[in-house]
Structure 1
């Protein structure tokens, strides 16, 4: 009798649950992900497909909001307002600084193994340099997870190099000038630049002439009176006079520089590993090479010093589903989906064992051999005023409006205005 009564009670409970619509199989966890990508970008398309596969595998629903770059202004007000956002992404340094108050420490999650990490702790399968960078930016605690890494290097046209008889990329400035001369001989300007990357070009030259610390001191002290500024003027006055730099470079407004590359009008462009993806539709058969900006002076850094970084994922510390959010991050940054994301975006994978796209094979070597990570533009964009001043005077230098001495003078401290003014 008791047994029959128990069966009856269980049966009644199940019936009530079904009538109330409380079948556990229909109650799936949902996480909200605010993305930095636009829907039409290849990264977004891959992430959408990956999210569907993740839901099929885990029963965790991923609600994706594609903000595009507007996330930079929209995310913080949303977090402050308590919107239910579980995971978000953007540049690794921006996430670490601008949204630091909402970052959940992730060390306990990164120490675990997951199905796509082949039994290894998650922390051991990610790009080691970028994982260490995330830990450094988090003050010793990992608070965001790098993905879509990038490096700032010289991207070049391998076909044009071959036509000019250039067998290997340059490592020193004298080798670089020989490369420029060979390219000129086949009627191709060696290098281009545009307004977006002029400060980067200046910063890399300063680093190679006097080193990272001295370059950053120029910004901190607003002191551009050193010999390196005049030397830069001489170098690029000469580059322009010899026809080594594109005649359009002075007037180029981004993306004019990459358009020149896509059209095969120039051979080199100091830019990032994102470049092949940005022009793939205009130049689908482009053969890409990459090398680190050459060494220029015994006083400066060599090719071991480069800027690299990444986008990154973070989990909102107020998330109700932090473990589910982290599982989705693991899903995107390891295994098959890490490879698909790298292939479709022609980008660097996040995982150590994921193959790099063929277009970035030479960039892989550069990243692996980088022992000194430089700030973006080696600090030259930290001050909007200095950034603008570099653009203004560099344009005048390569157009012939200023010579080397005039460039150095234009960048020099005006002692009559307080002794510590660049303007």
Structure 2
């Protein structure tokens, strides 16, 4: 809210400052004001710092909690007597935090250099400005934030692979999650050593990226306001770029508001699923969706145990996945209802905005700034809950395991 943070006279309003700070810290990307025009250089630095803190903090927090969950459950199943003695030590936390820092800085620095060179050499932008653009967008991409220093996001670079693909690489790497990145770093060529989490994240990410690219490209292929006038190879690039953005990144290289409503619905599904756990992506996570999918397949086959990549899935994970998913659905439906009551926008537009906020994506059909204050205040806690809620809720379910000394008799209601 400081006057120095705004490019124009006076300071930002409390609501604009709160919304922007929340969106940056929760690495969402939704904005109520034009980032490069409204905020000064100081304001943009504050936004960048919040993005870095938010992404780094969430990765660290989720990784520490995940390590605690894995150790608690694994040692309980193997040696219950050693559960109390074997806790998460300071050395483990220290190495984990340092690992997150190293990975973040290496990826961000590499992408920043590529973008800086492209802006400077390809578009004749002065080196200091090119470096700032490269650093800002690299940090925003790796942390899946989606903040851009161009009023039209990245539409001016829609067909420039040297801009779009490095950003996509940073987004995908950040969305995989720290545990997966570390395991690939150690055992990239030895797939048999990969954990179920790594296999699910890689498999789910590949399927969703490919499926999203095909879906968006085909639906928008003849849309004159999006892909219609482009060459076929540019259409594929834009389709892939937006499939990556639905992993909770938030950049756009064509007008989202001009897309077909069917594309919005498909992107809602992709945004809701999100990326990998313990990463910078939001959503219910790829692993949660994959677990639900395998449960359905198991029920259809009439089998009793859910088997995933040669391993049997713990029954407690079934309940956790269902609980996280249904809670997320309730939040999205409830928030959509509230916004429908206080705005005149269509269901398609409101649902897209709500899913984008909950999944910390940042894509919008263009209605964010036009929402009434009460509508924007609905999105603020939704972004915060969507960022930390699934992590906290899932870990609480996993760590708070109570054993009864007795079992009640079974009975089955009619399902379906």
Q: Where on the TM-score scale, by shorter chain, does this alignment land: which range?
A: under 0.3
Return the structure number with greater helix share. 2
Scaled by the length of structure 2, the TM-score of the pair is 0.24
Task: Pick the structure with greater CA Rg.
Answer: 1
Scaled by the length of structure 1, the TM-score of the pair is 0.24
